[in-house]
């Protein structure tokens, strides 16, 4: 069984390796797919002109770039991510914005010199810490005394057909991925409200408020079934299940995934239900 430090190092390696590579390659389509979530998150966060925002797990920069508009005039945004490839793309996409910077850093250990942020925000960037309680305690150092935190995380796997449908189709032909333990990092590691509450309160935040949000994600980003197949098999659990499989099994899984997604096709859209938590808290 791996230690928390080993799990954390694995995540950093993944996001600087194959994970980061795939997200960079699929950035345009993924940003379109996740736009409804970004919209819900930003509406809940209510970033104000003049505020300083720390975007944790800023990835390829989509939410940070939008936040930089929200905090004008006078505000600024710092996007932080462990993935050097994704940060490089974020810098390229953001252009020359005086109030936005991106840094490659580990939010769990980065030495924040002094509290500077009014708001800490994250779209799916906080579920991958090996020791999330220690990581949030470190992030707390970046927040001003009246600072607040708002982030989006996935609810349970069974509530998210956008990932469930292609993965279960693939499992008819390839082995199941290793089961993730309840305390291990992963996309659904914050699905349990009790665990989220424990992590945040133990790291110095108030009891969080978790709001369930249900929405539809067009995994094709308007590009039809072929683009949905590309998305489903390049990003996330299904891509990991297919990795390094024999060609016959891989091809059979692709056929099963295409068949499973076909009922969701409507024009260029392939929209499936998704379920998230919007989590809000403040310094305790």
Query: Is-contact 103 77, C-beta < 8 A?
Result: no
Query: Is-contact 186 277, C-beta < 8 A?
Result: no
Query: Which helix (DSSP H) or strand (DSSP E) does residue 100 occupy?
Result: strand 100-104
The pLDDT value recorded for residue 241 is 95
Is 242 within a domain?
no
Q: Looking at the 3D structure of the chain, how many domains does it have?
A: 1
DSSP-H helix ranges across the chain? 4-16, 18-25, 27-33, 35-45, 62-70, 84-94, 132-140, 161-170, 193-202, 224-234, 237-242, 247-261
- Closest by CA to 244, choosing from 174, 169, 144, is 174
The pLDDT value recorded for residue 135 is 95
Instruction: For Cα atoms 76, 87, 124, give the angle at the middle one, nearest 5 degrees.
Output: 80
Is 262 within a domain?
no
Which residue range is the domain that position 97 belongs to?
Answer: 4-160+182-218+275-282
Q: Label residue 124 left, alpha or beta by phi (over 0 means left) and psi (-120 to 50 means alpha).
A: left
Query: Is-contact 283 140, C-beta < 8 A?
Result: yes
Q: Could you list the pLDDT tens digit for every one of the 284 residues in the chain?
A: 788 888 888 888 988 998 889 889 999 999 999 999 999 999 999 999 999 999 999 999 999 999 999 999 999 999 999 999 999 999 999 998 999 999 999 999 999 989 999 999 999 999 999 899 999 999 999 999 999 999 999 999 999 999 999 999 999 999 999 988 888 899 999 999 999 999 999 999 999 999 999 999 999 999 999 999 999 999 889 999 999 999 999 999 999 999 999 999 999 999 999 999 999 999 98
Tell me, what CATH number does 68's domain have?
Answer: 3.40.50.150
Q: Is 182 exposed, middle or buried (0-12, 13-18, 19+ CB in 10 A)?
A: exposed
Query: Is-contact 105 41, C-beta < 8 A?
Result: no
Q: Is 5 exposed, middle or buried (0-12, 13-18, 19+ CB in 10 A)?
A: exposed
Is 246 within a domain?
no
Is 259 within a domain?
no
The pLDDT value recorded for residue 96 is 84
Q: Strand 265-266 vs strand 117-123: parallel, antiparallel, or unpaired?
A: unpaired
Is 250 within a domain?
no
């Amino acid at each position: 069984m791996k230690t928390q430090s080993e799990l954390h190092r694995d995540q950093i390696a993944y996001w600087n390796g194959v994970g980061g590579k795939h997200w960079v390659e699929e950035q345009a389509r993924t940003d379109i797919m996740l736009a409804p979530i970004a919209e819900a998150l930003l509406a809940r966060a209510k970033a104000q002109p003049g505020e300083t925002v720390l975007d944790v797990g800023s990835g390829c920069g989509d939410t940070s770039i939008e936040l930089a508009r929200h905090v004008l005039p006078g505000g600024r945004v710092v996007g932080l991510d462990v993935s050097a490839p994704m940060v490089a793309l974020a810098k390229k996409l953001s252009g020359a914005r005086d109030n936005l910077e991106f840094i490659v850093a580990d939010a769990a250990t980065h030495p924040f010199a002094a509290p500077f942020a009014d708001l800490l925000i994250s779209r799916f960037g906080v579920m991958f810490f090996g020791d999330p309680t220690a990581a949030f305690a470190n992030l707390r150092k970046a927040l001003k005394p009246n600072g607040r935190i708002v982030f989006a995380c996935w609810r349970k796997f069974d509530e998210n057909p956008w990932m469930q449908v292609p993965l279960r189709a693939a499992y008819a032909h390839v082995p199941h991925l290793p089961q993730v333990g309840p305390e291990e990092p992963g996309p659904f590691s914050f699905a349990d409200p009790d665990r989220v509450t424990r992590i945040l309160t133990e790291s110095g935040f108030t009891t969080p408020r978790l709001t369930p949000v249900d929405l539809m994600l067009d995994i094709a980003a308007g590009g039809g079934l072929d683009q949905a197949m590309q998305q489903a098999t390049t990003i996330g659990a299904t891509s990991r299940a297919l990795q390094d499989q024999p060609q016959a099994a891989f091809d059979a899984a692709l056929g099963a995934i295409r068949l499973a997604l076909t009922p969701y096709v409507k024009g260029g859209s392939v929209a499936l239900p998704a379920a998230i938590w919007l989590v809000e808290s403040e310094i305790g």
